């Protein structure tokens, strides 16, 4: 189960997350950590610390907050709008939760105005009733995840509200002059929105990193597309706050655009699904070829080098026959993870079906591509998974064919044919080898 924050709320706290909580300790800490059995110990401690920090911030904010019925009415109105968005997105469809990345709920349109318009205590509390409704009406998640989500938004809201007060020099209040009546006020609102998103994203990335230390920055913080959605969500939140100060009744007009923005998440998810291999999470053959065609065209136009690697898992049929197809699928996923973590962000790794993978290496000359191929071969050979029936670690190796743009290989078809021929030479040379198409060289361990 993935994290999210108010532009994305937090949740990676799922039974499918990697790692296991140690048990048997009689200490109070161990008893608390056993409440989070799906998490590694350091992730569980992090979650408990974030939850405790949110409670402390709630106490500090409540201690200094004056109780005004006007503030309570404004708070209630935005909570109701958030609940309407939750209910509306339930009927429109919600993006699927993924345990390996943050998901977006796009509720900053309603939580951010509370940060900008009201005392900090309301920013700490605003997500609690909205998230409770989501738990009852949308998706029932483990309580630890819902609590962590709420704690993340509470901390982000408190920090952003304090930053807004500090920069604007004005106490919070539903006033157009205080919110947007001067360059300083506008700057304070925009900075507070940025603080809100940044704190939330960092807290979510913190637990993701503790669950999967090998996770890339892009997986923890999201891609460029998700950043654009976050910015749009925050902009809507600031505009809703300004609209409220002009006429609260007009805020109702913001509900349809927020629901429409929610639909863009579904479109993005469907687009991602159409490009992704379900077993490995890598690019599927059609999408890999589409990207590769564009990169080859660009390389030919600019005169830059480009390489393609084809990798095949050696004796993979024996893995399926000995350990079963489920174990084979898990091994495929592990090999895919190793390949993805040992290339550059701009490189594209795809699954070509069965046990064959392809790697596109833009701006990569032959020698460097051979080095990458060797590193991938070694990394896969070091992979060890306890999937064998005996419980002993299961290992695999890969054979790799390398080809770069050159004479007779001036298009993707020629590149694939050359790298495929090199791959078969690697298998013929004894497997667990790298062969470079240019010279037919066999690079052994």
Instruction: Please determine, looking at this structure, whether the domain spanning 285-443 carries the CATH number 3.30.930.10.
Output: no
Which of 128-137, 266-275, 433-442 is most confident? 128-137
229-242 mean pLDDT: 86
| Residue 443 reports pLDDT greater than 70 | no
d(CA 129, CA 143): 14
Q: Would you state the structure tokens that stand for residue 194, as one six-digit string?
A: 């940025």
Q: What is the pLDDT of residues 363-380, one digit of tens each?
A: 999 999 999 999 999 999
- Give me the torsion for CA of 134, 135, 140, 142, rounded to 10°: 130
pTM for the whole structure = 0.62
* pLDDT confidence of residue 266: 63
Q: What is the pLDDT of residues 52-94, one digit of tens each?
A: 999 999 998 888 777 888 889 999 999 998 888 888 766 555 4
Q: Would you state the structure tokens that stand for residue 118, as one six-digit string?
A: 């009201």
Q: Would you state the structure tokens that stand for residue 18, as one six-digit string?
A: 């990697």
222: left (phi over 0), alpha (psi -120 to 50) or beta: left
d(CA 401, CA 425): 8
Pairing of strands 356-362, 306-313: antiparallel
Based on the number of CB atoms within 10 Å of its own CB, is 15 exposed (0-12), middle (13-18) or buried (19 or more)?
exposed
Domain chopping of the chain, boundaries: 4-274, 285-443
Q: Would you state the structure tokens that stand for residue 298, as one six-digit string?
A: 């660009």
Q: What is the pLDDT of residues 159-182, one digit of tens each?
A: 999 999 899 876 656 677 778 878
* pLDDT confidence of residue 389: 56
The span from the first CA to the last CA of the chain, in angstroms, equals 39
């Amino acid at each position: 189960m993935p994290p999210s924050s108010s532009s994305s709320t937090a949740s990676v706290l799922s039974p499918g997350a990697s790692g296991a909580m140690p048990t048997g300790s009689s200490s109070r800490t161990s008893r608390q950590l056993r409440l989070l059995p799906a998490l590694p110990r350091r992730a569980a401690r992090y979650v408990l610390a974030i939850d405790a920090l949110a409670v402390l911030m709630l106490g500090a904010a409540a201690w200094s907050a004056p109780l005004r019925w006007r503030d309570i009415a404004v708070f209630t109105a935005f909570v109701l709008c958030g609940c309407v968005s939750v209910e509306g997105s339930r009927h429109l469809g919600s993006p699927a939760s993924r345990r390996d990345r943050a998901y977006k709920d796009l509720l900053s349109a309603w939580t951010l105005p509370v940060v900008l318009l009201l005392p900090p205590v309301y920013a700490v509390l605003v997500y609690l009733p909205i998230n409770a409704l989501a738990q009852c009406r949308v998706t029932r998640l483990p309580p630890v995840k819902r609590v962590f989500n709420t704690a993340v938004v509470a901390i982000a809201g408190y920090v952003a509200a304090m930053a807004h007060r500090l920069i604007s020099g004005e106490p919070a209040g539903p006033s157009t002059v205080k919110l947007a009546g001067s360059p300083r006020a506008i700057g304070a609102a925009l900075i507070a929105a940025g603080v809100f998103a940044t704190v939330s994203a960092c807290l979510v990335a913190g637990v993701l990193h503790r669950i999967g230390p090998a996770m890339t920055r892009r997986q923890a913080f999201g891609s460029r597309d998700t950043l654009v959605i976050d910015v749009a969500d925050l902009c809507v939140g600031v505009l809703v706050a300004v609209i409220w100060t002009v006429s609260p009744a007009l805020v109702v007009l913001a509900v349809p655009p927020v629901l429409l923005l929610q639909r863009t998440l579904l479109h993005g998810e469907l687009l991602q699904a159409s490009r992704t291999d379900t077993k490995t999470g890598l690019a599927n053959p059609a999408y890999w070829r589409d990207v590769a065609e564009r990169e080859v065209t660009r390389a030919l136009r600019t005169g830059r080098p480009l390489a393609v690697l084809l990798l095949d898992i050696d004796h993979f049929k024996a893995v399926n026959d000995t350990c079963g197809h489920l174990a084979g699928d898990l091994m495929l996923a592990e090999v895919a993870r190793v390949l993805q973590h040992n290339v550059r962000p701009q490189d594209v790794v795809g699954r070509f079906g069965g046990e064959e993978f392809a790697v596109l290496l833009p701006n990569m000359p032959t020698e460097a591509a051979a080095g990458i191929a060797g590193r991938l071969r070694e990394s896969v050979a070091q992979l060890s998974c306890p999937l064998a029936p005996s419980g002993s670690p299961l290992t695999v190796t890969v054979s790799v064919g390398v080809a770069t743009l050159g004479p007779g290989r001036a298009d993707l078809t020629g590149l694939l044919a050359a790298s495929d021929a090199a791959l078969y030479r690697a298998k013929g040379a004894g497997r667990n080898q790298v062969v470079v198409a240019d010279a037919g060289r066999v690079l052994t361990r």
